[in-house]
Amino acid sequence: MPRILITGCSSGFGRAIALRFLDAGWEVVATMRRPAPEGLPTSDTLRVMALDVTDPHSISAAVAAAGQIDALVNNAGVGMLNVLEGTGIDRARELIETNLIGTMAMTKAVMPAMRARQSGVIVNISSSVTLRPLPALSIYSASKAAMNAFTESFALEAAEHGVRARLVLPGSAPETAFGRNAVARMGMDIPQAYARLVETFLQSLHTAAEKTTALDVADAVWRAVTDPAAPLMLPAGADAETWFRDRGQPPRPLPATSNGNGNGNGNGNGNEDRTSPPQPRNRAPR
């Protein structure tokens, strides 16, 4: 039975991803800072475990306790809505430490065993805000755009050893605790000089017809993990898909693996490979 470790499973996307893989017969290690199994079923194939992705000792302990990890989903993250001038640099560091460095640390922790087995999948949950510039999201967008760049380059390193890396870009999901918490963190810190800009932006989010659900994200992660032909970057949710098309980005090329397998054939047994060699990207460097 394949095993997946998912970070940030206390609610929202993480919980939906855990349920998706449980229903498909996977063994799930659902991690969160403070273990709270509410909303997750009692199952012999589910373990709920404490994990703080900003704590190296917590990472080492969780990875060791999990056992063989066939797939890792880096979902833990912090959201924030504020302009640069309204954000303390310490808060910006905290956000980048969780969203970017935490993802790197988890990836580094599982990679040696995956490399030794010449198989494995790592999926990083980014955001569709990286597809277009938006006000009040400059720091959050920077953390996720850096995750995109990291994953694109790391995917080439991982492919050398039969390991796949993928990105999932969710759209706006106000139904989730993540979305609500991002607004809560905004508080009263918005400088008056930016109040009208931020208010207009928030109104556009509330009135947008297209939204993303947690199930949209779970389905995209399922494809990223089980389908070797899935592109490097997958939008999740109607709004994310629209933004992806509007941006005019072609699917990212898949890096070729050195051992000729992409570790996954849609049923979790990891035998079929349908990857293709990298192709030139259809945009100018900057």
So what's the pLDDT on residue 250?
54
The Cα 138–Cα 221 span in angstroms is: 26
Angstrom distance (rounded) from CA 177 to CA 188 = 19
- Structure confidence by residue, pLDDT tens digits, 67-94: 999 999 999 999 989 999 999 999 999 9
- Chain segment 2-11, per-residue pLDDT in tens: 999 999 999 8
Low-confidence ranges of the chain (pLDDT < 70): 173-188, 209, 248-286
pLDDT value, residue 212: 87
CATH topology of domain 3-247: Rossmann fold (3.40.50)
Which pLDDT score, from 0 to 100, does residue 255 have?
A: 65
Distance CA 242, CA 169 (A): 12
The residues assigned a catalytic role are 140
State the amino acid at position 201 in one-letter form.
F
Q: Tell me, what's the pLDDT at 252?
A: 58
At 259 the pLDDT is 58
Cα(206)–Cα(263) distance, rounded to whole angstroms?
Answer: 40
The pLDDT value recorded for residue 39 is 80
In three-state form (DSSP H/G/I as H, E/B as E, the rest C), the secondary structure along the chain is CCEEEECCCCCHHHHHHHHHHHHCCCEEEEEECCCCCCCCCCCCCEEEEECCCCCHHHHHHHHHHHCCCCEEEECCCCCCCCCHHHCCHHHHHHHHHHHHHHHHHHHHHHHHHHHHHCCCEEEEECCHHHHCCCCCCHHHHHHHHHHHHHHHHHHHHHHCCCCEEEEEEECCCCCCHHHHHHHHHHCCCCCHHHHHHHHHHHHHHHHCCCCCCHHHHHHHHHHHHHCCCCCCEEEECHHHHHHHHHHCCCCCCCCCCCCCCCCCCCCCCCCCCCCCCCCCCCCCCC
